[in-house]
Every structure is written in structure tokens, then in C-alpha cells.
Amino acid sequence: MKKFAVEELLPHSGRMVLLNRVIEFDEENMVAEVIVRDDGLFGHDNTVPAWLGIEYMAQTIAALGGMKRRLAGKNLNPGFLLGTRRYDCNVGLFAAGSVLTVSVKRLVEDQGLGVFDCRITAEGILASAKLNVYQPDTAINRVITN
């Protein structure tokens, strides 16, 4: 099976690509790795707020969609994070340099709307959420950059 760099799976570029690598995936699931960085974009004092975990989860969902599209020979198609009803995290900050494992599992997908069960784990860290997303079938020619 062909391997893709994370940057090839996301509609983001530059510092907005927050995932470091894909660990594993299948049709319904993806596990990715994030090395928390404090590059001034989201954090300071060698930490980032734990709410950024929602974006780590959303990018992992996007990478799963990107992987499926790339393997099918299609171009990337940006999706949209619609929200979550609950994001639980046992810490308020992620320390720069921490290695986080982000797992997403598709629960529902219908006409571009999806619900994913998401987890972030690391030593002493547990975060969870169900994210609602939308990915239209038609391409949108806009890349998110910073």
C-alpha cells in the first residue's frame, strides 16, 4: 500500500499542519501522532491549551478522509468541523514536546455528514469527544494556510 506524508492528506499547509504522522488506518479508523509544539501559533511558555485537542482530532478525521481520497486517485476535498457537544480532557494544557496519540473512529456517515468518536492519549493525558463533521463530495479549491 502506498504511503503518504501527512501534508498530502490534509487541505492545510505550513504551520497549520498539526499532525506529525499517521500510525495506522483502515476504512473506519485512523490513529495519528502529534508532537505538541509551541511555535507561537497556539501556545506560549512551552504549552498549548488542551482545547487544541479538538483540532488535533479534526485533522485526524481530515487525514482519514484524505487517505481514502488519495488511495482512490481523487484530489483532496476540504471538510468542515461542525462542532462537538462535549470535549473532556483531564488536563488544561499540553506541554510542548509531548507525544500525543490521536484516535478517531467513524460512527455515522451519511451524505457527507459524519460523527466520529475521538480520543487523545499520552502518559497522564486522556481526552475524548464526539466530533460532527461535513465533507461535501465536490471539491472546494481553497487551501488553509498560515
Confidence (pLDDT) at 43: 80
Q: Identify the CATH number of the domain in which residue 33 sits.
A: 3.10.129.10
Q: Is this prediction's pTM over 0.85?
A: yes
Whether the per-residue pLDDT at 8 is higher than 90: the answer is yes
Give a yes or no: residue 75 inside a domain.
yes
Write the pLDDT tens digit of every residue in 61-91: 999 999 999 999 998 888 999 999 899 999 9
Name the average pLDDT for the chain: 91
* Separation of alpha carbons 6 and 13, rounded Å: 10
Write the pLDDT tens digit of every residue in 15-67: 899 999 999 999 999 999 999 998 878 888 899 999 999 999 999 999 999 99
Dihedral sign of CA atoms 125, 99, 60, 25 in order: negative
The structural domain count of the chain equals: 1
Its domain, for residue 90, covers: 6-134
Dihedral sign of CA atoms 144, 122, 4, 37 in order: positive
Whether the per-residue pLDDT at 140 is higher than 80: the answer is no
| Residue 51 vs residues 47, 48, 66, 146: alpha-carbon distances, Å | 12, 8, 24, 19
What's the longest Cα–Cα distance across the chain?
43
Give a yes or no: residue 50 inside a domain.
yes
Give a yes or no: residue 117 inside a domain.
yes
* Separation of alpha carbons 25 and 23, rounded Å: 7
Give a yes or no: residue 39 inside a domain.
yes
